[in-house]
Amino acid sequence: MSQEHARPTAGPQHAGPEVPAPSHAERSRTLAAQARVGTLCTVAGDHTDVAGTPYGSLVTVAFDGEGCPLLLLSALAEHTRNLAARAEASMLVAEALEAGADPLALGRATLLGRCVRVASGEEAATREVFLAAHPRASYYVDFKDFGFWRLEPVSVRYIGGFGRMSWVSGEDYRRASPDPLAPAAAGILAHMNQDHGDALLAYARALAGVPEATSATMTAVDRYGFEMTVDAPDGPRAARLAFPAPLSTTDEVRKAMVALVKDARGRLAAG
Amino acid sequence: MSQEHARPTAGPQHAGPEVPAPSHAERSRTLAAQARVGTLCTVAGDHTDVAGTPYGSLVTVAFDGEGCPLLLLSALAEHTRNLAARAEASMLVAEALEAGADPLALGRATLLGRCVRVASGEEAATREVFLAAHPRASYYVDFKDFGFWRLEPVSVRYIGGFGRMSWVSGEDYRRASPDPLAPAAAGILAHMNQDHGDALLAYARALAGVPEATSATMTAVDRYGFEMTVDAPDGPRAARLAFPAPLSTTDEVRKAMVALVKDARGRLAAG
């Protein structure tokens, strides 16, 4: 359970042994960058009758440039009173659960460290980042009992679903960057699956090592490549294909996909 | 922030001073009964480099007849290793977040107490309850590293949205019962709002004290009554109306709604 992450790492199933994939540090940063809500875990303070018990609460959250959670908390709230007495805390962020999906297949990350008040010199910058993510907070950001808090992760526990998990150091987490394609990923998948099933099938047959493939569905895309579920007579299988270099825009993805389909069709025509 | 719950309590806005509403203990039990996923908070153990830090993790959860969380955990997982060393834990359950909704308006409850292995004599009953809620778990329930755990709440922190919150004792929580209408509530609201806007308007005008109402939307229903947003020339307002007695089936709700609309129209006709 304590396997170290490494970059690049391969997913659990893929076309070849060395298909580059996001590291767990990168996947954690990507999850955080997409999250607007998380569970803050603090230690219940002496003012409660469960002092010392870990206390989970729902919070809105934004993330600074190092992936550290930024929180806007009321001094009256239980979690804030807990933090004032004891800074050790964690923040759990998870992919959104879709109806009918298995929650245990969700990607999630727990960022563990210390959560302290943002220094007065950093309040303006924090406020800007937080309000950009949570415009509704402008209604209470200036209430006197509200203040900004920041959690600096010492360790991160990443879980990418069944059997794909590791500890990531706080340093590796902060140094990694969120996937630049994450905000566009759902749109790319929808477009490819709706309009380019023929290209996906060519990738599967010529590049993913499944010449007998009957159809393919794109299931994920990141800066390093994309994943498909490939249907074949002996059942579905997962495949991952790499981009020739890390990409950061949808336009780059489009060009890479076109180049890949030319390559694939060339290979299929050559038999 | 530590206001005691009481039953029956009124919501923050309502037609009269004494409109019965679910207690916070009941609302917490109802939230739990609807939840299939939660955040388990444990204390990171000495095997980690963040020992003593509260650790939040995503888990599937079911609830026994007293509202105690039942968990099926792998001995290999971090949270399980944490619990084996220290039983203090909490479980956060929340209403589902709909797209565009304000997460801070969600109802949620944190159940704090001790989480320990289910005794061997209670395993069969626990297994039955858990698998009924999580049929997919049948694939791994018999793996040797999996076992059942139960959290017995000492205290419950209930938050019903902005400014509606309290501590509930574990005893009050266990004695309360989940709302019997909760599984049907969404269907009742959809039916009333789609097909019976005229009845809702009559309730608003004759029974909710808004004779100038122009329309009304049903926003919640529970065993004790229902809530509406009433549109009027001076803006929308919230209203709560009581059923004559606590109800437990959709058929009873239908009959109560019919009786209420007769009453409302009689009053309106009488001027």
Q: Are A168 and A25 in contact (CB under 8 A)?
A: yes
Residues 83-122, chain A: which have Cβ within 8 Å of B? 88-92, 94, 97, 102-104, 106, 108, 110, 112-113
Residue A3 clears pLDDT 50, i.e. is over it: no
| C-alpha span between B239 and B218 (Å, rounded) | 9
How many CB atoms within 10 Å of residue A195? 9
Please report which confidence band the pLDDT of residue B2 belongs to, taking 50, 70 and 90 as the band edges.
Answer: very low
Give the chain A residue nearest B72 (alpha carbons).
Answer: A104
Tens digit of pLDDT for each residue in B26-58?
999 999 999 999 999 999 999 999 999 999 999
Neighbouring C-beta atoms of residue A16, cutoff 10 Å: 13
Cβ atoms B178, B27 nearer than 8 A: no
Backbone angles phi, psi at B241, to 5 degrees: -120, 145
3-state secondary structure of B271: coil
Q: Is the pLDDT of residue A11 over 60?
A: no
Angstroms from A238 CA to nearest CA on chain B: 21
CA B219 to chain centre: 15
Q: List, for residues B79-107, the tens digit of each pLDDT value.
A: 999 999 999 999 999 998 888 889 999 99
Measured N-to-C along each axis, helices A250-269 and A182-195 cross at an angle, to the nearest 10 degrees, of 40
Residue of B nearest to A136 (CA): B102
Query: Buried b / exposed e across B167-180, counting CB within 10 Å, b at 16+?
Result: bbbbebbbebebbb
Q: What mean pLDDT is predicted for residues B168-184?
A: 98
The distance of B210 to chain A (nearest Cα, Å) reads 29
CA–CA separation, A60 and A126 (whole Å): 14
Q: At what angle do helices B182-195 and B24-34 cross, to 10 degrees?
A: 90
Q: What is the pLDDT of residue A207?
A: 96
Asked if A77 lies within 8 A of B1 by C-beta distance, the reply is yes
Structural Rg of chain A based on CA atoms: 22
The reply to whether residue B49 touches residue A76, judged by beta carbons under 8 angstroms, is no
Count how many residues are written for chain B: 271
Looking at residues B195-214, what average pLDDT do you find? 96
A15: pLDDT confidence band, cut at 50, 70 and 90? very low
User: Which pLDDT does position A17 carry in this prediction?
Assistant: 56
Helix (H, G, I), strand (E, B) or coil at A100: coil
Give percent of chain A with pLDDT exceeding 70: 94
Q: Kindly report the CA angle at B4 between B2 and B10, in degrees rounded to 5?
A: 120
Residue A115 has pLDDT above 80, yes or no: yes
Q: Check if A43 contacts B (Cβ < 8 Å).
A: yes
B13 pLDDT above the threshold of 80? no
Identify the pLDDT of residue A10: 38
pTM attached to this predicted model:
0.91
pLDDT at B96: 86
pLDDT value at residue B257: 97
ipTM of the complex: 0.90
Beta-carbon separation of B110 and A57 below 8 A: yes
Nearest CA distance, A193 vs chain B (angstrom): 23
pLDDT of residue B61: 98
pLDDT value at residue A2: 38
pLDDT-based confidence at residue B17 (cuts at 50, 70, 90): low
| Mean pLDDT of chain B, nearest integer | 92
Average pLDDT over residues A73-94: 97
* In the predicted structure, residue A27 carries a pLDDT above the cut 80: yes
What tens digit of pLDDT does each residue of A35-55 get?
Answer: 999 999 999 999 999 999 999
Q: Do A50 and B112 count as a contact with CB atoms less than 8 A apart?
A: yes
pLDDT for position B163: 73
For residue A118, give the DSSP letter: P
Phi then psi for residue B258, to 5 deg, are -65, -45
Is B103's CB within 8 Å of A159's CB? no
Instruction: Give the residue-averaged pLDDT of A6-10.
Output: 38
Residues 6 or more apart from A185 whose CB is under 8 A from it?
Answer: A179, A220, A221, A222
Query: Does B15 score more than 50 pLDDT?
Result: no
| Chain A interface includes B57 (CB < 8 A) | yes
d(CA A14, CA B166): 50
Q: What is the mean pLDDT of residues B133-146?
A: 96
Asked if residue B183 has pLDDT above 80, the reply is yes
Q: How confident is the model at residue B161 (pLDDT cuts 50, 70, 90)?
A: confident
* pLDDT confidence band for A99 (50 / 70 / 90): confident
Highest mean pLDDT among A87-91, A157-161, B93-97: A87-91
Contacts A164 to B, Cβ<8 Å: none
Would the pLDDT of B9 be above 50?
A: no
Quick check: A254 pLDDT over 90?
yes
Whole-number Å distance between alpha carbons of B85 and A52 = 14
When pLDDT is averaged across residues B187-216 and rounded to a whole number, the result is 97
Q: Please tell me the predicted confidence (pLDDT) of residue B145.
A: 96
SS3 B150: strand
The pLDDT of residue A101: 86
Give the strand order in the sheet containing A225-231.
Answer: A215-222, A225-231, A237-242
> A245-255 in b/e burial notation, b at 16+ Cβ within 10 A?
ebbeebebbee
Residue with tokens 């922030």: B1
| Cβ within 8 Å, pair A159-B53 | no
pLDDT of residue A1: 38
Structure confidence at residue A5 as a pLDDT band (50, 70, 90): very low
Q: What is the per-residue pLDDT across A180-235, written as a single tens digit (0 to 9) for each?
A: 999 999 999 999 999 999 999 999 999 999 999 999 999 999 999 999 999 999 99
Q: What is the DSSP letter of B139?
A: G
Phi, psi dihedrals of residue A54, rounded to the nearest 5°: -65, 135
Could you tell me whether strands A225-231 and B62-63 are parallel, antiparallel, or unpaired per DSSP bridges? unpaired
For chain B, say whether A75 makes contact (Cβ under 8 Å): no
pLDDT at A169: 98
